[in-house]
């Protein structure tokens, strides 16, 4: 049951990213290009998503537990630290270079454009490298 | 100054302002985030889900993550099949090496920063998370600075 629900959520998410054209790097890059060929469409995408999510979360989190049981898994970290800001800055650099963030890149795999597939493979490699590096760091600290 | 072709980010391909499509698509994305919380009690942050699917060895918690990831291109396919998406409009102004480097940096950055546009920019802001506000402001500013430098300075 959770698997089917999650698949359905992914489909709605992917449909939203596609219909809003966030899968199109040219459009995303043009949003950031205020000094050039500016395209403010992304504001409407973020706005629509944010208003819906804010109102929806309010209704959902009033419940005691999610539909399939268990509990609501909400992030508990609070501190503003270097990994957060440095990581976000690095992500922004990559986003600004290619015009892709992770969600749209995965949805756009359907286009069968080789660049999209290479972006996703490189992204998975970046995640794996970070994971390995972190494990080494924590095992060093443990010694 | 010589143009650095390999990291040149675009022969400015114009895209028409599409507020209605943007808004409808945005509402669908928000709806997906709400349904994820309502049904599974999870944040619909794409990179967090991908990272955990990639690195967690717990099959029960991997299955729903993989299902969500598979759903993303399926949703794109669905929109295409009903005739609402023409992929020929997809323009990729960036060279291959830049794309690969960017993907790698995005993978590292989103992992250290604990989130991307969906996790921080939508789910986090919808929960009024200060961490997500700082992260979102940072990655939008960094992306805008990157585009400014690659399009107007190099």
Residue B140 exposed, middle or buried by CB count within 10 Å (0-12, 13-18, 19+) = buried
Q: Look at A60-64, A122-126, B1-5, B7-11 and tell me which has the smallest mean pLDDT.
A: B1-5
| B93 has a pLDDT exceeding 60 | yes
Structure-token match 């939203």, residue found: A16
Q: Which of A14, A50, A114 has the CB atom closest to B76's CB atom? A: A14
Cβ-defined contact of A92 to B17 (cutoff 8 Å): no
Q: Could you give the angle at which helices A2-19 and B59-81 cross, rounded to 10 degrees?
A: 40
pLDDT attached to residue B5: 34
Residues of A in Cβ contact (< 8 Å) with B120: 88
What pTM did the predictor assign? 0.93
A132 touches chain B (CB under 8 A): no
Who among B78, B116, B129 is closest to A101 (CB)? B116
For A:84-123, CB contacts with B below 8 A are 84-103, 105-111, 113-115, 118-123
**How does pLDDT run across B55-74, given as a tens digit for each residue?**
888 888 899 999 999 999 99
- Indicate the pLDDT class of residue B3, thresholds 50, 70 and 90: very low
Tokens for B79? Answer: 């929109």
Nearest beta carbon to residue A45 from set B26, B74, B146: B26
pLDDT at A126 over 60: yes
In this structure, the dihedral spanned by the alpha carbons of residues B130, B131, B135 and B141, taken in order and rounded to 10 degrees, is 30
Burial class (CB in 10 A: 0-12, 13-18, 19+), B82: exposed
Q: Work out the mean pLDDT of chain A and round it to a whole number.
A: 95
Residues 72-91 of B with CB under 8 A from A: 72-80, 84-85, 87, 89-91
Element (H, E) at B53: helix B46-55
Q: What integer pLDDT is reported at residue B15 of this predicted model?
A: 87
Per residue in A34-77, pLDDT tens?
999 999 999 999 999 999 999 999 999 999 999 998 999 999 98
Residue A82 contacts by C-beta under 8 Å, 6 or more apart in sequence? none
A44 within 8 A of B26, measured Cβ to Cβ: yes
pLDDT tier at B11, thresholds 50, 70, 90: low
* Interface predicted TM-score of the whole assembly (ipTM), two decimals: 0.95
* CB of A12 closer than 8 Å to CB of B31: yes
Rounded to whole angstroms, what are the CA distances from B66 to A6, A7, B59? 9, 8, 10
Residue of B31, B103, B123 lying closest to A120 (CB–CB) = B103
**Phi-psi region for residue A18, left (φ > 0), alpha (ψ -120 to 50) or beta?**
alpha
B2: which 2 tokens? 């010589």
Task: List, as one string, the DSSP characters of A87-138.
Answer: HHHHHHHHHHHHS--HHHHHHGGGG--HHHHHHHHHHHHHHHHHHHHHHHHH
Dist. CA B151–CA B144, nearest whole Å: 10
Residues from chain A contacting residue B135 (CB–CB below 8 Å): 84-85, 87-88
Asked whether residue B91 carries a pLDDT value surpassing 90, the answer given is no
Whole-number pLDDT of residue B12: 67
Q: What is the pLDDT of residue B7?
A: 35
A137 touches chain B (CB under 8 A): no
């Amino acid at each position: 049951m959770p698997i089917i629900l999650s698949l359905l959520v992914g489909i709605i998410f992917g449909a939203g990213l596609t219909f809003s054209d966030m899968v199109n790097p040219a459009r995303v890059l043009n949003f950031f290009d205020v000094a050039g060929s500016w395209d403010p469409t992304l504001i409407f995408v973020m706005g629509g998503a944010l208003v819906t999510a804010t109102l929806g979360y309010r209704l959902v989190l009033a419940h005691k537990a999610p539909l399939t049981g268990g509990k609501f898994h909400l992030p508990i970290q609070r501190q503003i630290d270097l990994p957060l800001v440095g990581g976000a800055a690095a992500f922004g650099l990559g986003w600004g270079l290619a015009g892709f963030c992770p969600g749209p890149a995965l949805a756009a795999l359907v286009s069968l454009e080789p660049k999209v597939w290479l972006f996703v493979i490189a992204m998975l490699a970046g995640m794996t490298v970070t994971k390995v590096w972190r494990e080494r760091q924590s095992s060093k600290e443990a010694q | 100054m010589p143009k650095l072709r390999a990291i040149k980010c675009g022969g400015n391909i114009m895209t028409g302002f599409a507020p209605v499509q943007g808004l409808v698509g945005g509402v669908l994305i928000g709806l997906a985030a709400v349904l994820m919380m309502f049904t599974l009690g999870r944040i619909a942050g794409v990179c967090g889900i991908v990272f955990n699917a990639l690195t967690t060895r717990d099959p029960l918690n991997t299955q729903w993550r993989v299902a969500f990831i598979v759903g993303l291109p399926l949703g794109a396919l669905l929109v295409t099949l009903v005739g609402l998406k023409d992929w020929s409009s997809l323009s990729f102004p960036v060279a291959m090496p830049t794309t690969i480097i960017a993907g790698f940096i995005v993978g590292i950055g989103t992992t250290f920063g604990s989130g991307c546009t969906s996790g921080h920019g939508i789910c986090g802001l919808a929960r009024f998370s200060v961490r997500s506000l700082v992260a979102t402001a940072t990655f939008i500013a960094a992306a805008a600075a990157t585009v400014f430098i690659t399009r107007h300075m190099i």
